[in-house]
Amino acid sequence: MNIELLRELTETWGPSGQEARIRVIIEGHLHGLVDEMRVDRMGSLIALKRATATAKGQTPKRVMLSAHMDEIGFIITHVDEKGFARFSNVGGLRTLTLVGNRVIFADGVIGTIQIEKGPRAASEAPGFEQLFIDVGASDKKSSPVKVGDMGALLGAMAQRGDRLIGKSMDDRAGVFVLIEALRQLKHSPNDVYAVFSVQEEVGLRGARTSAYGVNPDIGIALDVTLTGDFPEAPLMEVALGKGTAIKVMDSSVIADPRLRALMVQRAKEAHIPYQLEVLTAGGTDTAAIQTSREGAPAGCISIPTRYVHSISEMVDVKDVQASIDLLTAILSKPIDID
């Protein structure tokens, strides 16, 4: 597995609404793997790999795959007279995990998130109003950041054995799975539309407009999911190292049971380790695909991930590879669920 590609993807800057930089990286890796590429009006990248093995007289099904390329981030709301910046979230930032982390802006300016003293300073989870970013400015005039500037967490990916730790596994791990599946996919009876969507973290926006344009017969999202295998974790069957996760339901979607059954069948046929995922809070591009236009059967292949929406999201390379293998197995054959 190309760990260096995953490293490049996770370390590239690209909060919601600012995905141009990561989109260029993805485009570069898709050359030679797909037949067409375009960028839609929202900024999502849509790549088409045409069917090569359709039976005579049959029309290829339009299969939309979606992995979102944005990451959680923050936006500057105020810079005070001493040059300290206040901020709000862009996506699901968790204040409890932010203090002490470094942040980086589009132009390379780096700062650190700190917490002010106050009546809530010792609380379990501080409010955004208690946090500030110090970019080393001596006053407001000399500050290199201004209201409206967006930033993201700064951190390098690390590896220990089969475990990878880094920011933006959500959902650069899904982006990686999609790219690598396209690389493995030599022949398919389906027209495969690989969508790298924007603004998922703020409401599934890119996938919704892309699905309207693609108008798929089938939809499959690639995203991360939570696990229940660490101390005091929510009760959940998914665990690191036990295989890819096939979504049953989350708070935004009930996966199409026919498509879910086909995913399980393909996993069993290819001896791919898998788990069934029921996520009680959270959603993915699956819901946007399922409800676009008149709707489409949709499901999701999820990568088990610890500590989602933190700077230290953790995945297992075996689960990532199982996700690649399952997606390839699904696309290599007709998707007959009618």
Q: What band does 225 get if pLDDT is binned at 50, 70 and 90? A: very high
Which residues are marked as active site? Answer: 200
Structural domains for the chain: 3-71+167-331 (3.40.630.10), 74-153 (2.40.30.40)
Question: What share of the chain in percent tops pLDDT 70?
Answer: 97
Answer whether residue 214 shows pLDDT above 90. Answer: yes
Q: Could you give the dihedral angle defined by the CA atoms of residues 299, 211, 37 and 152, in that order, rounded to the nearest 10 degrees?
A: -80
Condensed to tens digits (0 to 9), the pLDDT of residues 269-299 reads 999 999 999 999 999 999 999 999 999 999 9
pLDDT attached to residue 57 = 64
Q: Nearest 5°: CA angle at 66, between 11 and 240?
A: 60
- Residue 258 in tokens: 């026919």
CA–CA dist 263, 220 (Å, integer): 10
Q: What is the pTM of this model?
A: 0.95
DSSP H helical segments within the chain, as ranges? 3-11, 20-30, 169-184, 205-214, 257-269, 285-291, 317-331
Answer whether residue 124 shows pLDDT above 80. Answer: no
Note the residue count of the chain.
Answer: 338
